[in-house]
Amino acid sequence: MAKLGKTKLDSGWLAARSTEVEQTGIQLTTTHPPTSSSPPWMEAVVPGTVLGTLLKNKLVPDPFYGLENEAILDIADSGREYYTFWFFTTFQCKVSGNRHVDLNFRAVNYSAEVYVNGHKMVLPKGMFRRHSLDITDILYPDGNNLLAVIVHPPDHPGEIPPKGGQGGDHEIGKDVAAQYVEGWDWMTPIRDRNTGIWDEVSIYVIGPVTIGDPHLVSTFFDNYKRAYLHATIELENRNSWVADCTLTIQVTTELEEDTSLLEHFQTQHLSISANARTHYTFPPLFFYKPNLWWPNGMGKQFLYNVEITVDVKGHGESDSWEHQFGFRKIESTIDPATGGRLFKVNGQPVFIRGGNWILSDGLLRLSRKRYQTDIKFHADMNFNMIRCWGGGLAERPEFYQYCDIYGLLVWQEFWITGDCDGRGIPVSNPNGPLDHELFLLCARDTIKLLRNHPSLSLWVGGNEQTPPEDINTALQNDLKLHPYFQSSNKINEHLKDFSDPSQYLDGTRSYVQGSMWDGFANGQGDFTDGPYEIQNPEDFFKDDFYNYGFNPEVGSVGMPVAATIRATMPPEGWQIPLLRKNSDGSEEEVPNPIWKYHKYIGYSNQKVLDQIDLYGSAKDLDDFCEKAQLVNYIQYRALLEGWTSRMWTKYTGVLIWKTQNPWTGLRGQFYDHLHDQTAGFYGCRCAAEPIHVQLNLSTYNIEVVNTTSDELSGIAVEASVWDLDGKCPYYKVTEKLSVPAKRTQTIIEMKYPKSKNPKPVYFLLLKLFRILDSSILSRNLYWLHLKGGDYKLLEQYRTKKIPLKITSKIFIEGSKYKVQMLVKNTNKSPDSIKFSLKNHIVGIHENNCHNIISSEPERCTEENHKAGLFKRIYQCFAKEDNGLRTVETNGTDSGVAFFLHFSVHATKKDKKDGEETRILPVHYSDNYFSLVPGETMPVNISFEVPLGVTPRVTLRGWNYHTGHTIN
């Protein structure tokens, strides 16, 4: 007998092209079911797409490799029938009595007919809607059931113009579907337009009464000391008799693994009429000083577990629902000082530093594991917001669950984007999708699916365009704020005069009609986002770089490492760009055809000299990509530091276009599709730390950034300049300082470049430290050249042999590895300088959680409450515990160990030349770092290895080519 609850149907599926299957759906699920993966049937990817299934069976080339996508037949040429597919599986389910069974599809693209044991049902159109089918009466008595689904592509898949473009010919905009699939300036077309059962399929067993779409809302009073949890649920009685029900809501907190504390338990009784639906609102649950949920960098992401159960008299438990919930209040208004959109969480302003997100994978190969890596990467970069762009997905609950865990605020757009909805060449349909009611149905269903996640912070009508007037008006009405959430003044008012906020469709977070309206860009919908190309780093700090308070899109380069190019392109794609001089004197990169196809964006333009060439002409792919990482680091650190320099005085936030690519693209990314980070990742991580010391590249003032809600006091800044010979011609420590909360403060002007005989290329190391115990709050190293100069002297710096001491300790649990590294530049500091600090780095924040009182770092991940990661690493090494491995490398030169970076590889005895050996993904506490003489850096590395693989960790650098390896 089937147990209550959900069973996923995510394995054992077969698929076949509909034109190659002679049987009907009735026959497939009665007399002629397929029995094996013999033609025309094949193993299917569910959840997934038709193209994903074809790729799994090697019936199409890999569309993400080289130019192979061009060899796949496009739906515009094949016709929709070519990508219309049958999907078939069997499932076990046997019920009796008053139990019911639903067959649930969380999303299908674009429509489908479902057959269960010879019975036909229809899944209507729309990519972003849930479907639930009651199959109780058609299950076979023996419990062996057959399921077949024929899935049809979008109605308007469109054609791809010869020159491509934003959204192809824009026809896909007539459907309620993802619009990126016809291609964009960062994406190649998806040949099947993502046709398939692309999200979770499940069997759900329930009793006589079911729970539908609970809505949880928190309200606060007395400066967040008192809180209430509100809950409204929909109940359905599927039987022809009155159901006497007992409703239970309980709230627990996890103390440690397998141990929870019961915070609240409430029981209510009600009766539900026969074959009726009703909404029920629980009396609010009171909490005193609840643990609050905070965005990344502002505190912990505390989550409570809420469970709602319905029991029916005479039948026992009928249905239950469970969700993690965070107590927090999100506000979003236009800041009168800057005109930018201002976000507040729990009454505290949040300076937004985040990125634009398309989707995890262009073929919708979505998984919980991949989502976790994606979102943790964003948290590791110290970002606090992700914008889900309107041409992509209504992101899945798993995406939001990890944003809840890691503290990423989410701006979720609906499926409107300018090029497909009123712009472009040819000009697209300005009225959005053809079926406005379908759009609104999908929107309302999406709101119900996602509204309980604390990370969800904003609804937006569309990208660079507003929805058609009737849709926009409906969304504004559907998403109107409850009176309590309309003003922060309501924090101390009683709710007795208002309806319960959980009775709203949402009511807790704002709706904005478009990405360039109401506090974003110029707020009027004009094209005032961007730019999207390489910039001179100092320009980000200048008054005239960007004139508005919140830039929703500013983009730049994103070249990955050479190993990724080799893994995703044939040898003809390994040719680096040629540098061509134009008649106006500007330089232009000419990439090879494969790079061009993969949307490469150059490192120069009409106003910016080639930033790679500043280091000397690239010799080959490895040289080009290594120099590109130097540029990536500088570019994105400068971008974020330039915005943060004007925190609250000019800007309220910025979102970088974009953080990643859903395929093997070559622009705008901090990690590639294989999950290897670029150096830009670590430039962002540095620049966006909650407490940060930085150099204003325009004024050469040293600034301290404090984004926390506590004043910094008893601090000082150490500035040291290091030349290429390892000498320190400039050293200064400031007097005792204090920096107010939520403030960027200018400290001193850097005098070195104005001094006598400055070096043409030099390193500047800034450290912000606490005077009392010398603990370092922020560390930031720049490589700089004099005005009008370049970095070509660094080319000869590669030959330096800097002595290093590398200590490692490895922890293994099954297939999971944690490696703790300690890297020291064993050059002695110049005797002429008396340094005020110990040169080991023991920070007070890790993974962006910050506690200004303690020097113990806090880790804001799923392993919450494990204190003092960096400090424990350092102490571990200092004690020379058993299991440590120490290697000292010989080197006779003094100087900075420059741009060191770790990588993890599989150990292979017969490794072929150019063979991919990287183990990905890997999480590093830092990477692409540099060490001045005497300085030590702890790096924590974690990863998982495939079965039977022995990993090795390798360290390389600009002037460290030994490739030290730890097995």
Per the annotation, the verdict on 553 as an active-site residue is yes
- Lookup: tokens for 187: 């994406």
Helix residue ranges, H only, 757-908? 793-797, 869-878
Q: CB neighbours of 949 closer than 8 A, spacing ≥ 6?
A: 906, 907, 919
Find tokens 């440690």 and name the residue. Answer: 256
User: CA-CA distance, 125 to 108, in Å (whole number)?
Assistant: 8
Q: How far apart are CA 655 and CA 385, in angstroms?
A: 8
How far apart (Å, rounded) are the C-alpha atoms in residues 318 and 306? 17
d(Cα 380, Cα 924) in Å, to the nearest integer? 9
Q: Among 943, 932, 935, which Cα is nearest to 966's?
A: 943
Q: Do the beta carbons of residue 523 and residue 550 sit within 8 Å?
A: no
Which is it for strands 348-350 and 341-345: parallel, antiparallel or unpaired? antiparallel
Gap between the Cα atoms of 659 and 377, Å rounded:
10
- Burial (CB < 10 A; 0-12, 13-18, 19+), residue 498, is middle
Interatomic CA distance for residues 793 and 776, integer angstroms: 31
Q: How far apart are CA 285 and CA 218, in angstroms?
A: 9
Q: Please list the residues that pair with 456 across neighbouring strands.
A: 410
Q: Which two tokens stand for residue 680?
A: 């830009």
Residue 460 in contact with residue 514, Cβ under 8 Å? Answer: yes
CA distance 937 to 930: 9
| Catalytically annotated residue among 413, 553, 703, 846 | 553
Distance CA 304, CA 218 (A): 12
DSSP-H helix ranges across 264-367: none
Region of 79 on the Ramachandran plot (φ > 0 left; ψ -120 to 50 alpha; else beta): left
For the sheet containing 691-695, what is the strand order? 691-695, 701-706, 743-749
> What gap in Å lies between CA 530 and CA 516, rounded to an integer?
11
Rounded to 10°, the helix 621-645/679-687 angle is 20
Task: List, in sequence order, the alpha helices (H) in 655-745.
Answer: 679-687
* Pair 804, 824: CB distance under 8 Å: yes
Nearest residue to 656 (alpha-carbon basis) of 784, 811, 580, 551: 551
For 192, what's the count of Cα atoms within 13 Å in the CB-facing half-sphere?
Answer: 29
User: 33: buried, middle or exposed (CB in 10 Å: 19+, 13-18, 0-12)?
Assistant: middle
How far is Cα 819 from Cα 689, in angstroms, rounded to an integer?
A: 23
Q: How far is CA 229 from CA 448, 623, 634, in A?
A: 18, 57, 46
Catalytic residue among 395, 464, 689, 935: 464
CA distance 893 to 891: 6
Please give the Cα distance from 670 to 663 (Å, whole number).
13
SS3 465: coil
Query: Residue 641: left if φ>0, alpha if ψ -120 to 50, beta else—which one?
Result: alpha
Nearest to 177 by CA among 200, 193, 159: 193
Cβ(957)–Cβ(901) below 8 Å? yes
Contacts of 131 (CB under 8 A, 6+ apart): 104, 105, 108, 123, 124
How many separate helices (H) and strands (E) can be counted in the chain?
Answer: 13, 49
Catalytic residues: 464, 553
